[in-house]
Amino acid sequence: MQILKPLLLLLLLTLFGAAAFVWSGVYYPGADRPHWPLTHALLQFTRERAIEHHAAAIALPANLNDPQLILKGAGQYAAMCTSCHLAPGMKDSELRPGLYPLPPNLSVVHVDPREAFWVIKHGIKMSAMPAWGPSHDDATIWSMVAFLQKLPEMTPAQYKAMVAKAPPDEDMAPMDGATMSAPGGHTHSGHAHAGD
């Protein structure tokens, strides 16, 4: 019992210290300075475990290899994702150098379909990855997942040809002029606005 008092005091001091740190405002919140390696490792591990956990029970649709679904996903991807995740033949975008964490280059990186579905639908807190669920139904999100399974093997020419054939991204029509028209536009010119 004698040990409880000093422990309690230590706990109070720690809480007080943490509160003073937050209140002081000295924490640097800018995206242009990375976390400490320990903070970064902890956040990354937490995120990876959480996505695995939440994605584990998702049932894969039977049509994930359907060419029409993949084609639809190509149009979605070209319209909404390349400014952050790049595409075959795309070196960089204006957005990427300033992003922290840096989005993975999905024209190179293979993603697990369940985890990709979960992340696309729900997004990732405190990162640039938006939740696309509020604006897209599950079938449309699966089309992007289906496309992502093929993307890393595609050459720039194959990618271009597929995006040119893809159905227009109707969901995005209202947003086109506002936010999504400029980034990465040069690599898939014409497509993103086909729905206008």
Where do contacts with ligand HEC occur on this chain (CB under 6 A)?
A: 47, 77, 80-81, 83-85, 99, 101, 103-104, 109, 111, 115-116, 119-120, 124, 127-129, 132, 144
Least gap, CB of 165 to ligand HEC (angstroms): 19
Please tell me the distance from the alpha carbon of residue 40 to that of residue 19, in angstroms, as a whole number. Answer: 22
Considering the complex, state which of residue 66 and residue 115 has its C-beta at the smaller distance from ligand HEC: 115
- Tokens representing residue 7 in the block: 């422990």
Q: Which is nearer to ligand HEC, 87 or 144 (CB)?
A: 144
Q: Between 9 and 30, whose beta carbon lies closer to ligand HEC?
A: 30
Shortest gap between Cβ of 82 and ligand HEC (angstroms)? 8
Minimal distance, residue 34 CB to ligand HEC, in Å: 12
Q: Give the residue among 34, 16, 138, 130 at the shortest CA–CA distance from 84.
A: 130
- Cα 32 to Cα 26: distance, rounded to the nearest angstrom: 16
Distances (CA, A) of 161 to 116, 118, 188: 24, 28, 10
Residue closer to ligand HEC (CB basis): 3 or 178: 178
Query: Phi and psi of 82, rounded to 5°?
Result: -70, -30
